[in-house]
Amino acid sequence: MLPERIRDHLLAENARADQWFSAHQGLFEELESELRGRIEPVDVSLPDKDGPWAYRTRYSEGDEYGVYLRCPRDGGEEQVILDVEREASDHEYFAEGDVEHSPDHRLLAWTVDTSGDERYTLHIRDLDTGRDTFTLEDVYEVVWGTSDTVFFTRVDEELRPSLVYRLTLGQEPQRVYEESDTRFSLSLGMFRSGAFVVIEASMTDCNEIRLIAVDDITADPSLIEPRAPGVEYSLEHQNDRFLIVTNVDDAPDFKLMEAPVASPSRAYWRELEAHREGRTLLDVDALGDWMIILARENALAQVSLVHRDGRRRQLAFDEEVYAIGIDAGLEFDASSFRLTYASPTTPDRVYEEDILSGERRLLKQRRIPSGHDPQLYRTQRMQVASYDGVEVPVTLLYHRDTPLDGSAPCLVYGYGAYGSCVPADFSADVLPLVDRGVVYAIAHVRGGQELGRRWYEAGRLEHKAASFEDLYAVLRAMVDRKFAQWGRLVIQGGSAGGLLVAATTDLVVRRDPGLVAGVIADVPFVDVLATMSDASLPLTPGEWSEWGNPIDDAAAREWIRGYSPVDRVGAHDYPALFVTAGISDPRVTWWEPARWVALLRECRTNEQPLLLRTNLESGHFGGTGRYASLADTARSLVFALAVMGLTSG
């Protein structure tokens, strides 16, 4: 429970924000209706075949959460295995976690978080009767081992997944592994082959993997290769070998290796695909004797198919800017896989790719009920020189009728941390802006991994300020190249992206007051120095390799203080700000954005809108359900349009 004084403060901030938005109620309702009109009211997923069954999800009209279904593989009566709509009916917040059937298809393990703090309750359901036969609180992640054995993780007092348990049904859970290093978190997995349970301990730039063979399910986990500073590796199982994506031996953009299952340690790793700087090897899936290799180069995905005998085929795509997803399915011996394709102008399409013939068959295309004509939009990629001459990629989307003469408003989105990439995919949420003449830009700043691992390394630790300089350079370039008008730019980012826009705002108010009209900072990580100086907070020790450890490293303390938004607030004219927080957020605690807003309110020298809205029922990811989250999105759109001078309702 929050102390009454703090709760009253947050409620007062919410009331202030709601009062501001009430002046734009007509526009809010218009935008919420537009967003709802772009959601398919009845939507059924493609079936995932596994043994005798095919599994899928279905949303009926009005559903927030939908249902999980299965039917016999070759057709027959459909069976509801989990009615999420019904399960969620008594909860303000309801986020399903893992939903996994047992290898023999008799049982269903499903987890749910009803508070937003990412602590889940595990349920085991008998699929013959439809009733839950077992419930366990305080679970984080779940994976089946055998048909009567599940493995699960639990979080510690710092909300770090640090414990792995084995649960044989009908018995008490047994602890399997505990991670004592507070910098590392645990995760669970299962290979498509079904042969091994995977236990991974990882931090930002280091990991190690342990395996438990399914045919010896009570054995202790077997370590593949011990952790070493800066060394990362991932595994895929293919018959008698493991496929290993790793950065060992000076391969920052990763290479592909193999090792025998019988001797998988690093001493036996053999190179299959060499490292190539600037082309990041992301993942490998095994289907029979084939590998599906996913890579990224110049911020665009690449897909290659490679057989054990050396046969190789590169997949081709038509558009200049696009995003790709791979779904290799549930079965190891499949002869095809699914490929999801999208671009800023093209809604998601799901294809089936035949591995041998290369035939690509369209299975499903996302439909926009209110209508969508890709020919009305233009997308392009441009390069912007940052402060040090480094070229930053920018993805642009705009309506074909938008004048590119320096008069358009513009929203620039960015993230730039943890090596995460912002894909150039389709987003229905930005179309209400683009349809009103706003240029939408994604700034692929350093700290992401769009241009390879070195792009990430150039935006972390002592180099973190490069991320903010990159975004600042993009803002100036949007004006200089006449994609946007001075004073009609809005920047948006969430979590670490919230830090990006907050720290860039500090640059703007000191260098170019008036350049930016507004800032949308969603659950922003803004009290960086204080958070990284408190080892008791969730995630902090594991974050030191991303931001630095100011407790033990004076240099880290100074570079963090040099950009931490809370520590940089001063007597300046600030643009309008809309800041969000989640009361049960374990990733960015609510007091970070609250403290930042309080300092801004005290120190700023102007009276632009300064809005803080805290969700008192959720955590880091806001509201749940297909429609419940639309109000949050609509508020952000209202704010952006209002500060751009485009309100009409």
Question: Mean pLDDT, to the nearest integer, of 623-640?
Answer: 86
What pLDDT was estimated at residue 161? 93
Percent share of the chain, pLDDT over 90: 85
Active-site choice (185, 386, 495, 564): 495
User: What is the side-by-side strand order in the sheet with 120-126?
Assistant: 95-101, 107-113, 120-126, 131-139
**Which of 596, 534, 540, 590 shows the shortest CA–CA distance to 565?**
596
- pLDDT 10s digits, 95-148: 889 999 999 999 999 999 988 778 899 999 999 999 999 999 999 999 999 999
Whole-number Å distance between alpha carbons of 336 and 344: 27
Per-residue model confidence (pLDDT) at position 193: 96
Q: Percentage of the chain with pLDDT > 70?
A: 98
Q: Tens digit of pLDDT for each residue in 214-234? A: 999 999 999 999 999 999 999
What average pLDDT does this structure show over 169-186? 94
Predicted local distance difference test score (pLDDT) of residue 432: 97
Q: What are the Cα distances from residue 286, in Å, to 100, 291, 327, 535, 616?
A: 21, 5, 11, 40, 44
The pLDDT score that the predictor gives to residue 649 is 43
**Active-site pick, 113, 585, 618, 636:** 585
Split at pLDDT 50, 70, 90, the class of 92 is confident
Please report the pLDDT score of residue 556 as a whole number. Answer: 97
Cβ–Cβ under 8 Å, residues 429 and 411: no
Q: Residues 202, 275, 620, 636: which is the catalytic one?
A: 620
pLDDT of res. 67: 96
- For residue 510, what pLDDT is reported? 97
Catalytic (active site) residue 147: no
Judge contact between 473 and 392, C-beta under 8 A.
yes
Give the model's pLDDT for residue 615. Answer: 86
Contact 31/638 with Cβ under 8 angstroms?
yes
Is residue 559 pLDDT above 90, yes or no?
A: yes
End-to-end Cα separation, the chain, in angstroms? 39
Q: Would you say residue 298 has pLDDT above 90? A: no
Alpha carbon separation from 482 to 170, 432, 440, 642 (Å, rounded): 68, 21, 13, 21
User: Tokens 């805290």 appear where?
Assistant: 614
Per residue in 306-346, pLDDT tens? 999 999 999 988 887 889 999 999 999 999 999 999 999 99
Report the pLDDT value the prediction gives residue 623, as an integer from 0 to 100: 56
- Retrieve residue 414's tokens: 């960015």
Task: Quote the pLDDT of residue 259.
Answer: 98
Among 382-391, 552-561, 587-596, 620-629, the range scoring the smallest mean pLDDT is: 620-629
CA gap 581, 613 in Å, rounded:
6
Domains and CATH numbers, the chain: 4-33+378-527+564-644 (3.40.50.1820), 234-369 (2.130.10.120)
Instruction: Phi first, then psi: give them for residue 120, nearest 5 degrees.
Output: -110, 155
| Model confidence pLDDT, tens digit, residues 369-425 | 999 999 999 999 999 999 999 999 999 999 999 999 999 999 999 999 999 999 889
What is the reported pLDDT for 401?
97
Closest CA to 127 of 157, 143, 147: 147
The model's pTM: 0.90
Phi first, then psi, for residue 480 (nearest 5°) are -60, -35
Instruction: Determine contact, residues 500/467, Cβ cutoff 8 Å.
Output: yes
CB count within 10 Å of CB 404 equals 14
Provide the residue type at 384 as one letter: V
Asked if the model's pLDDT at residue 1 lies above 90, the reply is: no
- 489-516 pLDDT, tens digit per residue, is 999 999 999 999 999 999 999 999 999 9
> Which of 466, 464, 472 minimizes the C-alpha distance to 561?
464
User: Taking 60 as the threshold, does the pLDDT of residue 618 lie above it?
Assistant: no
Structure tokens at 229: 């500073």
DSSP-assigned states of every residue in 123-191:
EEEETTTTEEEEEEEEE-EEEEEETTEEEEEEE-TTS-EEEEEEEETTS--EEEEE---TT-EEEEEE-
Which amino acid type is present at position 325?
G
Q: Is residue 585 annotated as part of the catalytic site, yes or no?
A: yes
* pLDDT at position 466 over 70: yes
The amino acid present at 119, given as its one-letter code, is R
pLDDT score recorded for residue 648: 57
Tell me whether residue 275 is one of the annotated catalytic residues. Answer: no
Helix (H) or strand (E) holding 336: strand 336-342
- Per-residue model confidence (pLDDT) at position 493: 97
